[in-house]
Amino acid sequence: MKYHDSHADSRAKMQSAIQLLDTHNLTYTPVNYSVAYEYVSGENPELIQLIDDYINVNKVDAFVLESLYNEFIVNKTPQDESNVYKLNGAIDSLHTSCETSSEVLQALDESVQSTVDEHSTETQRLVVELKQSQAEMMAFVKEAQLQAHTIRNELESAKIEAITDPLTQLLNRQALNKMFDSYRSDSGDNELSAAMVDIDYFKKFNDDYGHLIGDVILRRIAKLFRDVIDTSGEVFRYGGEEFVILIPNIEPSEAYRILDDIRTRVEKLRFVSAKTKERLPKLTISAGVTQYVYGEPLESLISRADEALYQAKRQGRNRIIDLALQD
């Protein structure tokens, strides 16, 4: 996003952005400030609506702002990607043309070497010069090809980073939006299960033992999720200690079994502080599971899974509620 604010306007927006961060006890990092400034500028209705939704449920945190930063602020446009691939294709074509011209010049050189007439010496000289120019062109093209391929690889890495949560290495909300569209196009009624998973009392755990230990625990639990789900579906970090799991082509009873298996495994995990060797309290998860209704948007599916999650919490936590099995 480009801004053309006056000094007075930018100062006012800066104060509003800082006030927003203060209200939600967020640090003034470049990422947090960028998203806050974008929000108070009023130029991005979609971002504003998402932040308002998070504010309404009191879930604005650094993870949410980082996800929004990757989705709305980072400048990675489809046109840029298209141009990179076009450049690679053009350079590859030029490389092929150079190889073809090299073969033609080699054939011409052999022909000249076998021909003896009054023009052969001059012809040989011209062929040598052409071959030298062609060799220089080939070296230039190879270097350009290497650089273009490097740019393409960096673009692919950037695309992966943009949809990956840096802490847990799970997919993030941006990836969830993209993959849901793919699942939705392939799924019929009740062929896609969605689960909203929350680590019980994790905010208190962080308060008691610190965010560094909390981050270690999050990574370990995220790895357990990923190992259990494996290739049958996808796991996404949705925000803080909340996760979304999508499993296509599965019956409700089987989806419930998988989530309950995850719940049991998490309950059996044991944690010890590396610094104090103190045994930490065990953690549990609650989850709400629901089934995709053909044609519905992601927001509706997540909202229903979230409703089931809160049922699980109201019933005492450390349990799975599957709405489809209650019907």
Among 162, 194, 226, where does a domain finish?
Answer: 162
Per-residue confidence band for 268, with pLDDT thresholds at 50, 70 and 90: very high
Interhelix angle 202-209/211-229, nearest 10 degrees: 140
Q: Is it the case that residue 202 has pLDDT exceeding 80?
A: yes
Q: Tokens standing for 250?
A: 């599965």
Q: Which range is least confidently modeled, 57-61, 67-71, 107-111? A: 107-111
Among 110, 139, 162, where does a domain finish?
Answer: 162
Q: Is there a catalytic annotation at residue 46?
A: no
Nearest alpha-carbon partner for 57 in 248, 198, 221, 230: 198
Q: Note the pLDDT of residue 76.
A: 47
In this structure, the number of other CB atoms found within 10 A of the CB of residue 183 comes to: 19
- DSSP 8-state assignment for residue 164: B
User: Whole-angstrom Cα distance, residue 74 to residue 50?
Assistant: 17
The pLDDT tens digits of the residues spanning 95-132 come to 565 556 555 556 555 555 555 454 566 666 666 666 67
Does the residue 2 lie in any domain?
no
Among 52, 73, 94, where does a domain finish?
Answer: 73
User: Whole-angstrom Cα distance, residue 44 to residue 51?
Assistant: 11
| Active-site residue identified among 241, 242, 254, 278 | 241
> What strands lie across the sheet with 192-199, from one edge to the other?
234-239, 242-248, 192-199, 285-291, 320-322
The pLDDT tens digits of the residues spanning 219-265 come to 999 999 999 999 889 999 998 899 999 999 888 899 999 999 999 99
Q: Note the pLDDT of residue 95.
A: 57
The pLDDT tens digits of the residues spanning 165-188 come to 889 999 998 889 888 887 776 555
Please give the residue range of the domain that contains residue 275: 173-326
For the chain, the first-to-last Cα distance in angstroms comes to 47
Q: Note the pLDDT of residue 233.
A: 92
Q: Note the pLDDT of residue 77.
A: 46
Q: Which range is least confidently modeled, 1-5, 286-290, 300-304? A: 1-5
Does the residue 63 lie in any domain?
yes
When divided into structural domains, the chain yields a total of 3
User: Whole-angstrom Cα distance, residue 145 to residue 92?
Assistant: 7
